[in-house]
Structure 1
């Protein structure tokens, strides 16, 4: 049964059966500029998530290239969308969303916010998404708060996010909200009080997400995911310190991938499994939200295993109970080599 948090007004606002997805947020440092971006490494990091909000997208064509890299790397179908260019001067950015089609689908309402007070340099962008398995809906919004010359330049946009949060709720009153972004302000700053009073909570409260210039060092906690605390009860959250996963030195990772590490929120049993690039994992960087149990999982889940299609899934179900995965060699077409690939996939439940 999904884990849910009890709140008032149940008749007006049904509780959300949380989507079994990993939602990430990542400032990918001028994605789309001619800056020697290591796209396969960017894809490796992005492939840890099912739905990713992207900031500092300079050219939507780069998001399409990243999508193609993800499909080649993961062997799965991905989709993406981008906002129009946003900015007050000649410097403009886009926002983007990337999602794994087996887990997430775009529902509707992709829109750039009409800023009520004309406060934002780059108005937030949002869309509603649907969990493929449960059909539950949720809204994901993203923003890149202006950095400016000092913290005081950032505060008006931070404070205006309370108005934006309310607008998201009014637009889809029965849909839980998540606000992802590079906020250029840590979550414990007093300027967040107005958003907190509306029931929003930061997923990340400890650690640092921006890469310092010194190897292995991180500077600030500017990246975060704020979520609807009355309607969502996350199972996990964190910062993916990606330089540790790549065959690049810290400075090279900072220059050629990003100076920000992605942050994430895990919903309904999802869990991130950090994978090193080039490790040979068949399901590179893929988290196992609910592991596959040979004795309990349905046929559709069993077909996620390497070399298991509908026919072999039916054979697995017919052969229950299984004591150990090694017994799968009883099934026609699964020899020791394929058994090894199934076990190394990391998809099977342990124990």
Structure 2
């Protein structure tokens, strides 16, 4: 072997070794993230989201996926899909609006779900009609086509665009096996110190407006189910799926506790919907996973398994 060829092979070896070293941190992180898939569900009952009545029930997840858009890499989107795969219908809040990468991220999640054994479809809302581009967001629905079908276009609620900083996203669905249609109201309220109750108070009119007894209010409401604004909805038959369930993540773990506020929930009309089980999906499980989990979101997904 001549000297030039030896020198070339040596330089090639150095370049390869340097490339492996420079990417090792990111690769290790990606591997850790992919190992973050939760193996348990924090539930308000003893039933899991994969109920034995799965063929007759609806499993709906609501999740505020923080800053869903360009901030999420392919590994994180894959992991999000892994968490959602056992549901039938998903309502997502905080999809980035001012960048097309928000809608593209939802499409990538749907594509990942389609690779996991079931066919999924999705809809992304227009940007909300908010006071500024920094407040405006999109919402999204994803659903398993073997279980659920969308009956309308799904649209932002124009009647509330002047009442809410981010008006709700309304979808009319039906179980694939048939039955009465049901509505999902997907919502992300204004901040807790900006009086979100002044937005939520308008939701008591939905049964009359939609002429339906099958309504689910899913989202991040920035106040818990004990706030007195909900009494207006409880009086007309709504019920919270979750009670005393913390759903947001602290920045740092303190004394083994990484959960903060009880603000994500799914409220439903009891006259047309029967709860089987409900709860939060703990994507953290222990303090050592907190930093990695926050790459996905600062909120836990919440779920309701129900019969309509």
Map of 2:7 onto structure 1: none
Unaligned runs of 5+ in 1: 1-17, 270-351
Is the contact made by 1:42 and 1:257 (CA closer than 8 Å) also made in structure 2?
A: yes
Is the contact made by 1:19 and 1:134 (CA closer than 8 Å) also made in structure 2?
A: no
Map of 1:229 onto structure 2: 270
Query: Match of 1:39, SS?
Result: helix
Is the contact made by 2:273 and 2:307 (CA closer than 8 Å) also made in structure 1?
A: no
| Aligned-partner Cα distance in 1 for 2:217–2:56 | 16
Query: Match of 1:221, SS?
Result: coil
2:84 to 43, 46, 58: 46
Unaligned runs of 5+ in 2: 1-54, 97-101
Which stretches of structure 1, 4 residues or more, deviate above 4 A after TM superposition? none
TM-score, normalising length: structure 2: 0.73
1:55 to 93, 111, 119: 93
Q: CA, structure 1 residues 117+127, in 2 after alignment: closer, same or farther (shift >3 Å)?
A: closer
Map of 1:264 onto structure 2: 303
| Aligned-partner Cα distance in 2 for 1:95–1:190 | 26
Q: CA RMSD in A?
A: 2.2
Map of 1:31 onto structure 2: 68
| Aligned-partner Cα distance in 2 for 1:228–1:205 | 16
Aligned residues: 242
Map of 1:128 onto structure 2: 172
Is the contact made by 1:180 and 1:225 (CA closer than 8 Å) also made in structure 2?
A: yes
| Aligned-partner Cα distance in 2 for 1:80–1:138 | 17
- Pairwise mapping of residues 58-207 of structure 1 onto structure 2 (< 5 A)? 58=96, 59-72=102-115, 74-86=116-128, 87-91=130-134, 92-108=136-152, 110-116=154-160, 118-147=162-191, 150=193, 152-162=194-204, 166=205, 168-207=206-245
Is the contact made by 2:214 and 2:273 (CA closer than 8 Å) also made in structure 1?
A: yes
- Pairwise mapping of residues 237-252 of structure 1 onto structure 2 (< 5 A)? 237-244=278-285, 249-252=289-292
Query: Match of 1:249, SS?
Result: helix
Higher relative contact order at CA 8 Å, sep ≥6: structure 1 or structure 2? 2
1 or 2, which has the higher strand percentage? 2
TM-score, normalising length: structure 1: 0.64
Q: CA, structure 1 residues 118+102, in 2 after alignment: closer, same or farther (shift >3 Å)?
A: same
